[in-house]
Amino acid sequence: MNVPFLIAWRYFRSKKKRNIISIISNISMIGVAVGTMALIIVLSVFNGLEDLVRSLYGKSDPDLKITAVQGKSFPVDAFLVNRLRTVPGVQLVTEVIEDNALLRYHERQMVVKVKGVSENYYKQSEIDSAIVDGTHQLRRNGEDFALIGAGVQHELSIALENRFAPLQLLYPRNTPGKKTLSFNPETAFNQEPILAGGVFAIEQHVDDSYIFVPLDFAQRLLRYGNRRTALEVKVGPKRALEDVKAELKQVLGSGYAVLDSDEQHVSLLKAIKVEKMFVFITFAFILLIASLNIFFSLSMLVIDKRKDVAVLMAMGATPNIIRRVFLMEGAIVAQVGAVVGLSLGVSICWLQQRFGLVSMGMATSVVDSYPVKMQASDVLWVGVAIVFITIAVSIRPALNAPQIDLRENL
């Protein structure tokens, strides 16, 4: 039988002689409940945003991306590509050339990311599902076409398949032995025309800067020859991605980096995780301030129950038992508030997932409502924070509880 817990539970359920103690105790529970609920909801929103980023970029990102550790390109030949294809689990290898170029249309121009891809690109990418106008095909009837982002189309007011005014892509021409551009624009840039064949909408950063072109077109424009900026690998369903990644690293050696989806956007995902951590710390601090009422209610409860303490000590209760009584009283108040807050937070997140109660408030948003995702680890961390806060605010009144004059209170 846990005597300190039974006494603490009786104190929690009984009406205090001083009504102010009940008020402060109730305020404490409400504060803990609201803080816990807010913490669960905010952490779930950050989890949802993280998943949203992964899903958005997943339409254009490969399972694995091979890049050079030093420099922005590396030589690629048929032997290397065939060697990679023989790795168990590798289903597809796509050659990629990606670099900045100047896009000109009529009298308007902007700097864009030109991404040249080999013909098998759409067998591993889901970008064809993000087409909002035109078609995703980069070559039709022997003619090259460009797939442009919605932001690029809007910025330059591009009309699809406008044969009277095709897109003009310009790239600085490298002259052997010279590090500066020629002042003659006809010799300073490589220039290639191409028709816009389709428009995609994935994510604002991609939509505002990317255009996709056939690989041989990118070779002519950028003068990369047999060099590639990346090799994109699609992993089959029968083998774990991490196993394929490890074997590719072993085959390629230390001069190459093999990146999974998260590593391809490590800066963005790390920023979300850092923001989530600081939000957790901030809300935990707010929860600590709200829990200070537990300190005051326990301090007043110690004064109110000093005769009970004297009786318990006269019956043989040790100071340690007395301390545990009031520690458990603080724990009960905090845990009841935490359970209520946790239940409310989980319920609100479930309702948001199911019915989308809170919308993004933007017509151009990629999702209609705020994304949320609940994780067991968040509940665990919130529980740890509440336990720490409970001990922090309850320990002082509990230590003071046995320090009474028995003769005065018996």
Check whether residue 112 and residue 234 sit in a common domain: yes
Residues 38-72 pLDDT 10s: 999 999 999 998 888 888 776 678 999 999 999 98
Mean pLDDT throughout 347-365? 83
Q: Residue 262 falls within a domain, yes or no?
A: no
Q: Residue 99 falls within a domain, yes or no?
A: yes
Check whether residue 224 and residue 144 sit in a common domain: yes
Check whether residue 91 and residue 209 sit in a common domain: yes
Q: Is the pLDDT of residue 176 over 50?
A: no
Q: Residue 362 falls within a domain, yes or no?
A: yes
Q: Residue 298 falls within a domain, yes or no?
A: yes
Check whether residue 171 and residue 232 sit in a common domain: yes
Check whether residue 281 and residue 388 sit in a common domain: yes
**Domain region containing 229:** 71-254
Check whether residue 30 and residue 151 sit in a common domain: no
Final residue before a domain boundary, out of 220, 254, 288: 254
In percent, the amount of the chain with pLDDT more than 90 equals 46
Final residue before a domain boundary, out of 204, 227, 254: 254
Check whether residue 168 and residue 234 sit in a common domain: yes
Q: Residue 260 falls within a domain, yes or no?
A: no
Structure tokens at 98: 């990606």
Quote the number of domains for the chain: 2
Check whether residue 207 and residue 83 sit in a common domain: yes
Check whether residue 240 and residue 291 sit in a common domain: no
Q: Residue 409 falls within a domain, yes or no?
A: no
Final residue before a domain boundary, out of 224, 254, 284: 254
Residues 208-243 pLDDT 10s: 999 999 999 999 999 999 999 999 999 998 899 999
Map 144-166 to HEC letters: EEEEEEHHHHHHHCCCCCCCCCC
Q: Angle at CA 60, nearest 5°, toward 370 and 159?
A: 95
Check whether residue 226 and residue 352 sit in a common domain: no
DSSP states of 154-199 as a string? HHHTPPTT-TTS-EEEEEEPPPTT--S--S-HHHHEEEEEEEEEEE
- Looking at every residue in the chain, the average pLDDT score rounds to 87
Check whether residue 78 and residue 44 sit in a common domain: no
List the one residue out of 205, 213, 209, 192 whose CA is nearest residue 136: 213
Q: pLDDT at position 222, please? A: 92
Check whether residue 76 and residue 225 sit in a common domain: yes
Q: Is the pLDDT of residue 15 over 70?
A: no
DSSP states of 306-339 as a string? HHHHHHHHHTT--HHHHHHHHHHHHHHHHHHHHH
Q: How are beta strands 210-214 and 108-117 bridged, if at all?
A: parallel
Q: Residue 313 falls within a domain, yes or no?
A: yes
